[in-house]
Amino acid sequence: MADEALHINSRIQIPSWELTFTTSRSAGPGGQHANKTSSRVTLHWSIPNSSALSDHQKSRVRRRLSARLTQEGVLQIHVEDSRSQHRNKEVAKERLKALLLDALKVPKRRKPTRPSKAAKKRRVDNKKSRGAIKKLRGKPTTDS
């Protein structure tokens, strides 16, 4: 399992040697167990040094995940959800996969549209009818 690559999608796989994990004491669930074991996992992945992404993909990921990157371009993911270090590693990998899939998704281009002639007419008619209703709210005129 240690030599397996992390499959992001059918074309992108991150080799296991590019991912480094550090452990530390967790503040999450586990009671006294959390005070004695290092169950918190931090995943580090250096985007500039990665062979898994093309230059275009790297720039897109750097732009979309800029708030999560260090100065050197290393993505860090901290997980302390479980009292198991192994489970936290798996969750960190899942979060990396989800982040990358979201960051690499190309947004759809907006097609500029114009309102139809009928829609413009409906809008003007509604405005006129609202104006007529508001005009009726005024003080009545006295006919002498």
Domain assignment present for residue 11? The answer is yes
Owning domain of residue 12: 6-104
Phi, psi torsion values for 43, nearest 5 degrees: -95, 130
Residue 34, pLDDT above cutoff 80: no
Domain assignment present for residue 140? The answer is no
What is the average pLDDT across 118-133?
Answer: 97
Domain assignment present for residue 54? The answer is yes
* pLDDT tens for each residue of 78-120: 998 888 889 999 999 999 999 999 999 988 999 999 999 999 9
Which pLDDT score, from 0 to 100, does residue 28 have?
Answer: 59
Domain assignment present for residue 109? The answer is no
* pLDDT tens for each residue of 40-62: 899 999 999 988 889 999 999 99
Domain assignment present for residue 123? The answer is no
| CB proximity list for 73: less than 8 A, separation 6 or greater | 46, 47, 48, 62
> pLDDT averaged over the chain?
89
Domain assignment present for residue 82? The answer is yes
Residue 143, pLDDT above cutoff 80: no
CA distance 95 to 47: 16
Domain assignment present for residue 49? The answer is yes
Which pLDDT score, from 0 to 100, does residue 1 have?
Answer: 47
Residue 131, pLDDT above cutoff 60: yes
* pLDDT-based confidence at residue 3 (cuts at 50, 70, 90): low
Which pLDDT score, from 0 to 100, does residue 107 have?
Answer: 87
- Structurally, the chain folds into a number of domains equal to 1
Residue 126, pLDDT above cutoff 80: yes
Q: Do the strands 40-46 and 74-79 form a parallel or antiparallel pair, or are they unpaired? A: antiparallel
Residue 133, pLDDT above cutoff 90: yes
Which pLDDT score, from 0 to 100, does residue 144 have?
Answer: 65
CATH code at position 28: 3.30.160.20
% residues pLDDT > 70 (the chain): 94
Domain assignment present for residue 99? The answer is yes
Do 14 and 45 contact (CB within 8 A), yes or no? yes
CA distance 24 to 12: 30
